[in-house]
Chains A and B, each alone.
Chain A
Amino acid sequence: MEGDPQQYVLEMRGITKRFPGVLALDRINLKVRPASVHALVGENGAGKSTLMNVLSGGYSIDGGEIFFKGRRLDHGDITAVLQSGISMVRQELSPVLDMTVAENVFLGREPMRGPFSAIVDSDKMYADTQALLDRLGLRMSARGIMRDFSIASMQLIEIAKAISREASLVIMDEPTSAISEREVSMLFRQISDLKKRGAAIIYITHKMDEIFQIADDITVIRDGRCVASNSASEYDENKLIAQMVGRTISNIFPKEDVPIGEEVFAVEKITKNGAFRDVSFSVRKGEVLGMAGLIGAGRTEVARAIFGLDPIDSGEIRLSGEPIDIATPADAIRMGIAMVSEDRKAEGLVLCRSVGENISLANLNRFTDRLFIDEKSERAEIGRMIQLLRIKTPGVSTIVETLSGGNQQKLVIAKWLLGNIKLLILDEPTRGIDIGSKSEIHRLIVKLARDGVAIIMISSELPEILAMSDKIVVMKRGIVAGELRRREATQENLMRLSAGVSV
């Protein structure tokens, strides 16, 4: 069967992708018309990025067919063919920081001249790049060094690069996550230019206003499945949100009600320039405060500031009613504040060391008898933690790197349970781990709350936030967009607060 080149520039049929233990993509269909903007929407983790990775040749597929400009692509040539006609603006930028703008834009396809085309035609490269930048209305020099630009500018350069390749399909994965309103309108002008020239754009975003502003067609993905695919005119915001989140809350451990005590921790109008502004909330003994919002809304930055990893510019932090000063994580830990970082490999664990050493690292003073570590009591406590959290490890001296993601995550939590904590901050505590470990972590959160620990849990999974939180703070673009009690919260109003049109 052949695809229809007149009708679709790209047609993906029944795309299936399995990862160990997870069906990431389940028979996904995606049809992109030429000269159109096709919005791909869905919650975090729905499978959008996986699908785009399939397109850019990053993943092989376990089932399905891909037609590009009417030609069926076999596994072997997907990468080559697609790369020739598709360009991609990724969410994670990867410019070569010490090269110039032009060198980055032309990286890997430098114009050549001279005998055997052996010499890079720098003049042409710089002239072409400058012309491109000028055409896009970007006031920057092609000779500028990448390192000197802001993240926003780098993102714009990345977009310029994608445009310059004159591909017939451009994929943009959250291209506006770091740029200003003015730059967004510049981007949208470029998108309509691209459309006029016949190119198709796959546009991934969480922002409702953007979708309705530029999309011609919308495909909604949820839990790795294609939920709906229609013309944008058939949607309104409510309908779209309902389709994005419409899933039953299963496999989430529901939080039991535990007695909630006095206020343990509060922040009052804390601000970190460029990250968040005037953020206020409080959390009580035994209470779970959920922090919802889109990736990049400033939740992680708030958590890092509370824990002393980054400084704040203004505002007050109170512990048990007393204003406190936290300059380093060591200060926070001394006051009973602990944090499980969203990136456990970078900030949670010393991967090349043992299970035991990692668990006791933050509490070694408890086992230090004058000069020496009391290995006997240390081992006993470590053993207790391994049992309590049901960490599956061959032994205490097993190197952490060899454990599964779920067990590594439990380890990071175990590390804090050894000490006397008043406030535990969990940043995406169950992201990327298996269902079993996930519900055990939920069980543990409830146990800690029952023991009187105040908990702040950041999660991008709405069902998790809804099931676990007593109170929910929603952040949007660095500010608190709303605070809801548990009984008031629904997936719809959370999604509306974090992504909605109304500010």
Chain B
Amino acid sequence: MPPTTKAFTTIVTTKTIATSTESRIAYIYRKYGTILIFIGLFFIASVASPAFLTQANLTNVLRQVVVVSLLACGVTFVIILGQIDVSLGAVMALAGTIAASFMVMTGSITMAISAGLTVGALSGLVNGLVITTFRIPSFIMTLAMASVARGTVLLYTGGAPVIGLGNFRIIGQGDVGPLPVSVAILATVVLLCWVLLAKTRFGRYVYAVGGNARAARASGVRPTNVIVAAFVLNGGLCGLAGIVFTSRINSGQPAAGAGYEFDAITSVIIGGTSLMGGTGSIAGTIIGSFVIGIINNILNLLNVSSYWQQIAKGLIIALAVILDVGTKFSRGERA
């Protein structure tokens, strides 16, 4: 178990002493919330539709959560830093279509992947540098980036999908042994992100800067570097998500990823990462993204209209944030 998870447990134990109903809900939520929601949902889904617990469907769920999960892993770092990124979907589309056109031009999967990752990482670099240099809120900067990136995609593609990707589709559609390639990619990314956050100096600095940037600076950490690095990592993962998505639908879609940042951020928050920074984990984020994936899947299996699906997701994110803020408030009162 990573040290961060243990840290959570401790916050929570002290919280039981403060006895208000609010903090008791927060206590249960912090400690078991994400996993309880996941298990409960899995159970409900199995009962609600016989089609849910089939191998074909579960593999399908896995394939579907890959893209959002990749985005969620990256944005976890950003959110623990107390920042936000709402350009995930647009940057993903930009990186995806550019990867696609490199594939068309060069016929090389390596070239295409490199191009996609570079575009993503560069967008993240721009986000990070502007935010730290001019001290502007990350919400505003990434909102601007979302608009610029989406505009660039449309300009670059003329609004038409990039097609003729040859064997590029194996990334999103192929298998390695029993596993889809995309799921293997996700597993690798999750492992790397978890190690990075829980086991390295960079990870510690992310938590420290997110928890108290001034104290981190006075301890010799350079908050600017940490924030920029996190945005680059996040951007790179947007690029990877774009590549996987493009490969899965076998074309570079200019409209890809619209609203994906919403699902990714929701996953992170359901996973127990605080929007105020300083706490959170990759494990939580991954369970969070599976929760979102199962909700989408079961609503599809039950033929619920996509309009209702949107409403359901909105309610879930509101609930998750209420619990997050509730926990923070009860902590603030004791301080």
Task: Choose among B6, B204, B279 the residue with the greatest number of A CB atoms under 10 Å from its CB.
Answer: B204
With A354-B3, A395-B10 known, 20 other A-B pairs at CB within 8 A are: A329-B217, A329-B219, A330-B220, A341-B218, A346-B212, A346-B215, A347-B212, A349-B212, A349-B215, A350-B208, A350-B216, A350-B278, A356-B3, A360-B204, A361-B221, A362-B219, A373-B204, A397-B9, A399-B10, A402-B10
A116 at the interface (CB under 8 A from B): no
The answer to whether B200 and A350 touch across the interface, beta carbons within 8 angstroms, is no
Known A-B contacts A346-B215, A347-B214, A361-B221; the reply to A371 vs B207 at CB < 8 A is: no
Structural contact, B216 and A397, CB atoms closer than 8 A: no
**B residues apposed to A, CB below 8 Å:** 3, 6-7, 9-11, 14, 195, 199-201, 204-205, 207-208, 211-212, 214-222, 278-279, 331, 334-335
A397 to B207, CA, bound (A): 14
Complex contacts, A398 vs chain B, CB 8 Å: 10
Does A35 sit within 8 A of B, measured CB to CB? no
Contact A307 B211 (CB under 8 A): no
Q: How far is the CA of A334 from the CA of B200 in the complex (A)?
A: 20
Closest chain A residue to B3, Cβ basis = A397
Q: Give CA–CA (A364, B219) in the complex, Å.
A: 10
Contacting residue for A307 out of B199, B201, B214, B218, CB 8 A? B218
- Is the pair B278, A353 in contact by a Cβ cutoff of 8 Å? yes
Q: Is the CB of B218 within 8 A of A329?
A: yes
> Which residues on the A side are within 8 Å of B199 (C-beta)?
372-373, 375
Q: Kindly list chain A residues whose C-beta atoms are within 8 Å of the C-beta of B220.
A: 329-330, 332-334, 362
CA gap between A399 and B15 in the complex, in Å: 11
Interface centre among B6, B9, B195 (most CB of A within 10 A): B6
What per-residue 1/0 map shows which CB atoms of A318-351 lie under 8 Å from chain B? Answer: 0000000000111011100001010001111111
Main secondary structure of the interface of B (DSSP, over half): helix
Contact A361 B11, beta carbon cutoff 8 Å: no
Closest B residue to A346 by beta carbon equals: B214
11 contacts between A and B (CB under 8 A): A328-B217, A333-B220, A341-B218, A347-B214, A351-B212, A352-B11, A353-B207, A354-B7, A373-B200, A373-B201, A397-B3
Count of residues in A whose CB is under 8 Å from the partner chain? 40
CB–CB A352/B279 < 8 A = yes
Give B212's nearest chain A residue, CB to CB: A350
Which of the residues A348, A356, A401 comes within 8 Å of B335, measured between beta carbons? A401
Q: Which A residues touch B9, using CB under 8 A?
A: 397
CB distance from B249 to the nearest CB of A (A): 36
Output the least CB separation between A127 and chain B (Å).
38
User: B219 contacts which chain A residues (CB < 8 A)?
Assistant: 329, 333, 361-362, 415
Query: Contacts A354-B10, A364-B201, A398-B10 hold; do A348 and B218 have CB atoms under 8 A apart?
Result: yes
Q: Does A81 contact B (CB under 8 A)?
A: no
| A353-B221 in contact (CB<8A) | no
B-side contacts of A395, CB under 8 Å: 10
Rank and list the top 8 A-B pairs by shortest CB-CB distance, nearest first: A350-B211, A333-B220, A362-B219, A352-B278, A330-B220, A350-B212, A364-B201, A352-B211
Give bound CA distance, A122 to B279, whole Å. 46
Known: A330-B220, A371-B200. A353 touches B211 (CB 8 A): yes
Query: Which A residues are CB-close (under 8 A) to B11?
Result: 352, 399
A-B contact count (CB 8 A): 104
Complex CA gap A341/B7 in Å reads 25
* B335–A357 CB distance below 8 A: no
Closest B residue to A365 by beta carbon equals B201
CB B13 to nearest CB in A, in angstroms, measures 9
Is A368 interfacial (CB 8 A cutoff)?
yes
A364 to B216, CA, bound (A): 12
Q: In the complex, which of the residues A341, A345, A357 has the most CB atoms of chain B within 10 Å of its own CB atom?
A: A357
Chain A 375-394: CB-based contact to B (< 8 A → 1; otherwise 0): 10000000000000000001
**A275 located at the interface, meaning its Cβ lies under 8 Å from any Cβ of chain B in the complex:** no
Residues in A neighbouring B6, C-beta threshold 8 A? 354, 397
| Chain A residues whose C-beta falls within 8 Å of the C-beta of B221 in the assembled complex | 330, 361
Task: Report the Cα distance A168→B200, complex, angstroms.
Answer: 62
CB distance from B119 to the nearest CB of A (A): 27
Q: Would you call B216 and A328 a contact (CB within 8 A)?
A: no
Is A227 on the interface with B (CB-CB < 8 A)?
no
Given the complex, which residues of B lie within 8 Å of A373, measured CB to CB? 199-201, 204
Given the interface contacts A329-B218, A351-B212, A353-B278, does A399 sit within 8 Å of B204 by beta carbon?
A: no
Instruction: Assess whether A187 is interfacial by the CB under 8 Å rule.
Output: no
Taking the complex as formed, is A309 at the interface, i.e. its CB lies under 8 A from any CB of chain B?
yes
Cβ distance B256 to chain A, nearest Cβ, rounded Å: 34
Question: Could you tell me the distance between the alpha carbons of A398 and B9 in the complex, rounded to whole angstroms?
Answer: 9
Question: When the two chains form the complex, which single residue of A339, A357, A368, A397 contacts B218, counting CB atoms closer than 8 Å?
Answer: A339
Q: Do A350 and B3 touch (CB < 8 A)?
A: no
Chain B, residue nearest A402 (CB): B14
A364 contacts B204, CB within 8 Å? yes
Q: How far is the CA of A394 from the CA of B13 in the complex (A)?
A: 11
- Chain A 395-439 near chain B by CB (<8 Å), digits 1 or 0: 101110110000000000001000000000000000000000000
Are A347 and B204 in touch, CB under 8 angstroms?
no
Contact with B along A229-242 (1 / 0, CB 8 A): 00000000000000
A330: which B residues are within 8 A, CB to CB? 220-222
In the complex, what's the smallest C-beta–C-beta distance from B213 to chain A, in angstroms? 9
CB pair A397 B335 closer than 8 Å: no
Alpha-carbon gap, A365 to B220, bound state (A)? 11
Q: How far is the CA of A329 from the CA of B215 in the complex (A)?
A: 10
Complex Cα–Cα for A364 and B212 (A): 17
Cα-based distance from A227 to B133 in the complex (angstroms): 54
Instruction: Give the nearest-CB partner of A334 in chain B.
Output: B220
- Whether A397 contacts B7 in the complex (CB less than 8 A), given A329-B219, A352-B278, comes out as yes
Tell me which residues across on chain B come within 8 A of A347, comparing CB atoms.
212, 214-215, 218
Residues of A within 8 A of B3 (CB): 354, 356-357, 375, 397
Nearest-neighbor residue (CB-CB) of B17 within chain A: A402
Bound Cα distance from A371 to B202, whole angstroms? 9
What is the chain B residue whose CB lies nearest that of A343?
B214
How far, in whole Å, are A330 and B219 apart by their CA atoms in the complex? 7
> Roughly how many angstroms separate A355 CA and B216 CA in the complex, as a whole number?
14
Closest to A372 in B: B199
Distance between Cα atoms of A35 and B205 in the complex (Å): 58
Query: Which residue of chain A has the shortest Cβ distance to B6 in the bound complex?
Result: A397
Cα A346 to Cα B217 in complex, Å, equals 11
Q: Are A361 and B211 in contact (CB under 8 A)?
A: no
- On chain A, the residues within 8 Å of B212 by CB distance are 346-347, 349-352
Residues of A within 8 A of B7 (CB): 353-354, 357, 397, 399
A357-B200 contact, Cβ under 8 Å, with A346-B215, A352-B279: no
Do A309 and B218 touch across chains, with their CB atoms under 8 A apart? yes
Contacts of B218 in A (CB 8 A): 307, 309, 329, 339, 341, 347-348
Which of A328, A345, A361 interacts with B208 by CB under 8 Å?
Answer: A361
> Which residues of chain B have C-beta atoms less than 8 A from A368's C-beta?
200-201
Residue of A nearest to B224 (CB): A328
Which residues of B sit under 8 angstroms from A394, Cβ to Cβ?
10
Chain A residues in 8 Å Cβ range of B211: 350-353
Residues of chain B within 8 A (CB-CB) of A348 are 215, 218
Q: Is the CB of B216 within 8 A of A361?
A: yes
